[in-house]
Structure 1
């Protein structure tokens, strides 16, 4: 009897003291206690997750680490630009880190200091390397990966089955005026005289990331016709009178079975209409077909929720690799204009449809 009472007391103590943490470690509510824009999660070979993103430090990037995707530890600044040795100046954003043969490579966007015509948007993509996911990351060259002749952002990589590496990026809207029925409509409505657009391109990149192979291929762009199924959700920043730009940016590609899925964000990143769609292809450089069930992630205020500005996502997997999670930024009433991180379950159904089960703010368990 004394042993039974002793065991009962131990169990009660563990429960009350929180030592039985299996449930508490995985139960969470969005948003996470992490303020990042453009969040990217690396599932590293050391068994941990590392999250990189835009904001939180001056002149570069910081990283947080986690064992369970819920509790994140601040690891500090991992890259610093705006130095004499860096090619990038001004703002830095959209870092993504890849582990390759024991080293870690960070792709990021920044303003290129080589700017003889004083362009307002002179963005390019660079690479920095480190022996650890927590840095410090040092640039592998004194310039961007390549110069296409126009500003580019939001690099994302695909390591294909045949050993080739592909880089995807977004051409900026800056000085990229595009004719379309949407632009004609906006002009007739006296909203905007012209509409600028950003487009997603793909290109093979050298295995050492020192340059590209071949020429970039246009993969995704906003629709031209008003009756296109994608026009309504991809044009909300224009049709609401918010801004004279239509974006296709923040791409993230992965392969499922024999299909390549490219997720992308549309509308103004700082506005409520930022949303995510996807397109599919049988080849890494397309052609890609946009999905009928787009958008797969968007604001939920019309349904009584409080989340807006959902976008620029990455994808990560559970420790056993069986479950997929969409990692993205958004805004709530509490966060105001600050972008905070959300993680929600996602899946590809048996009939090939990609679904994101979000945005959520109610308690749930992350398996």
Structure 2
């Protein structure tokens, strides 16, 4: 059986009843964040064979339901001197009064900086933050977690999950301090958050072109690990017409213990590993802090940020 076939054989009723994507057209690898009184999504621009996209966009929302196209925030061939295409899986972090935008380009990882969450973002180093071939596996899928004490940690890599503490400037680190781990089932798309003093490392399993693409997680008492995988079930996986649900990010509603997961799936209908769309679902925990399986058919209700987290 070919697991990388496109999804093209659904009935009209299946398509009508399918959960609706939050962004129009095809976007993948969404990084969702809350800044001020708005939510933002930073996705991969999808729709090209081999994922050969050349720009990044930003979307904003006041309620998680209605999303506004902001603009192209980085045109890589114009804005980056060391890369031209294969622009994937960005991430955003806030520190020092600035927004730091981490992105994959030509299988390197770069970092750009802006005073606003919508950019413009300037490639601050003029060279990759993590160079292609530096470690085993692909140097893609950056994610930066900023802890309560202001310490920031970079997670990245396909094949292995690499972890390193960033310097206070957010754009440099000690390469001799990189930790490389490979949790059971790990492939790519790492994401870290903290809840009730516990660190959650999440990642995608299988290949993004595979309908079985899904999300698992592990926990630790430290952002550097060691991490213990939660066994028994994926946190996120497809069901029925929903295929290839993965490469996610997580956002907490400021001031509440209320969480949502953003992710991509094969476009419905006629999607595949190069034609994916962005969705959001509620993410719940049990009393012991275990993440419950996400219902990919549950609709997100409008939610607004009260006050400001800045």
Q: TM-score, normalised by structure 2?
A: 0.82
**Aligned counterpart for 2:42 among listed residues 52, 72, 93:** 52
**Secondary structure of residue in 2 paired with 1:270:** coil
**What CA distance in whole angstroms lies between the structure 2 residues aligned with 1:126 and 1:141?**
8
**Aligned counterpart for 2:195 among listed residues 256, 262, 267:** 256
1:124 correspondence with 2:108: yes
Residue 160 of structure 1: how far off its partner (Å): 2.1
The aligned runs of 1:176-195 (5 Å cut-off) are none
User: In 2, are the aligned partners of 1:29 and 1:364 still within 8 Å (CA)?
Assistant: no
**What CA distance in whole angstroms lies between the structure 2 residues aligned with 1:323 and 1:335?**
33
Residue 366 of structure 1: how far off its partner (Å): 4.2
1:299 correspondence with 2:238: yes
User: In 1, are the aligned partners of 2:27 and 2:44 still within 8 Å (CA)?
Assistant: yes
Which runs of 4 or more aligned residues in structure 1 lie more than 4 Å from their structure 2 counterparts after TM superposition?
none
Residue 352 of structure 1: how far off its partner (Å): 2.0
1:211 correspondence with 2:172: yes
**Secondary structure of residue in 2 paired with 1:132:** coil
1:163 correspondence with 2:150: yes
User: In 2, are the aligned partners of 1:61 and 1:78 still within 8 Å (CA)?
Assistant: yes
Provide closer, same or farther for how the CA distance between residues 208 and 351 of structure 1 changes in structure 2, counting only shifts above 3 A: same
**What CA distance in whole angstroms lies between the structure 1 residues aligned with 2:299 and 2:78?**
43
User: In 2, are the aligned partners of 1:220 and 1:288 still within 8 Å (CA)?
Assistant: no
Provide closer, same or farther for how the CA distance between residues 256 and 56 of structure 1 changes in structure 2, counting only shifts above 3 A: same
User: In 2, are the aligned partners of 1:326 and 1:356 still within 8 Å (CA)?
Assistant: no
Higher helix proportion (structure 1 or 2): 1
What residue is the counterpart of 1:315 in the other structure? 250
What residue is the counterpart of 1:357 in the other structure? 294
What residue is the counterpart of 2:259 in the other structure? 324
Residue 251 of structure 1: how far off its partner (Å): 0.7
Residue 335 of structure 1: how far off its partner (Å): 5.0
Provide closer, same or farther for how the CA distance between residues 332 and 144 of structure 1 changes in structure 2, counting only shifts above 3 A: closer
Provide closer, same or farther for how the CA distance between residues 71 and 29 of structure 1 changes in structure 2, counting only shifts above 3 A: farther
**Secondary structure of residue in 2 paired with 1:82:** helix
User: In 2, are the aligned partners of 1:345 and 1:356 still within 8 Å (CA)?
Assistant: no
**What CA distance in whole angstroms lies between the structure 1 residues aligned with 2:277 and 2:226?**
33
In the alignment, structure 2 segments of 5+ residues that lack a partner are 1-17, 48-52, 304-310
**Aligned counterpart for 1:96 among listed residues 59, 66, 91:** 91
Residue 31 of structure 1: how far off its partner (Å): 2.2
String of CA shifts for 1:3-23, please: whole Å, max 9, x gaps.
xxxxxxxxxxxxxxxxxxxxx
In the alignment, structure 1 segments of 5+ residues that lack a partner are 1-27, 112-122, 173-197, 223-233, 235-246
Provide closer, same or farther for how the CA distance between residues 84 and 76 of structure 1 changes in structure 2, counting only shifts above 3 A: closer
**Secondary structure of residue in 1 paired with 2:284:** strand
What residue is the counterpart of 1:82 in the other structure? 77
**Aligned counterpart for 1:201 among listed residues 162, 165, 185:** 162
Q: TM-score, normalised by structure 1?
A: 0.70
User: In 1, are the aligned partners of 2:77 and 2:84 still within 8 Å (CA)?
Assistant: yes
String of CA shifts for 1:37-89, please: whole Å, max 9, x gaps.
100112112x1111111015952201111100110111120011123852222
